[in-house]
Chains A and B, each alone.
Chain A
């Protein structure tokens, strides 16, 4: 699978701040997924997106499927200490049910 471009690579944020990260691909995707991984654990699915332009929320998390189908964004509002972790994007192409993953965005929250 192809590697997605995920940015930023890492971020330090103040508790209460809003956070944004994004993923881009050179190929069109049918599905975008966002996962969070705590240290030493497996990734946990946060949000799944299936349609271009779709905007989906899960608590303080909001993700969008880019209109071009080549990008996706994840926003975290009012960050709290438990938001610490690595956030991965993943995409599924048009002719393949395998997933391609971004390298991850490491989020560290300053109390």
Chain B
């Protein structure tokens, strides 16, 4: 059973389009995150959600919006995609102050 899953695994799209990435965790964790990993491999936190409440909103463009329909899901919606949005996006979850479990990643390519 996959602990943290993401769909799709690959996403290729044109500039200006709107796209969504879905994330689900079956670990019962109460905090979920979205990270962006650029070509230099740096992992930058974008958002975290705790019990459906946004806790952190880092300095990311407001074209990015996280949506959490319930405790086990945290989706990422991106409007008006730009070339610089191309990266690998990782979802993660954790419980209390313990380790984070990462999803397999979604490789987004904006043409």
Q: Do A and B bind each other?
A: no
Interface residues of chain A, those whose CB is within 8 Å of chain B, are none
Interface residues of chain B, those whose CB is within 8 Å of chain A, are none
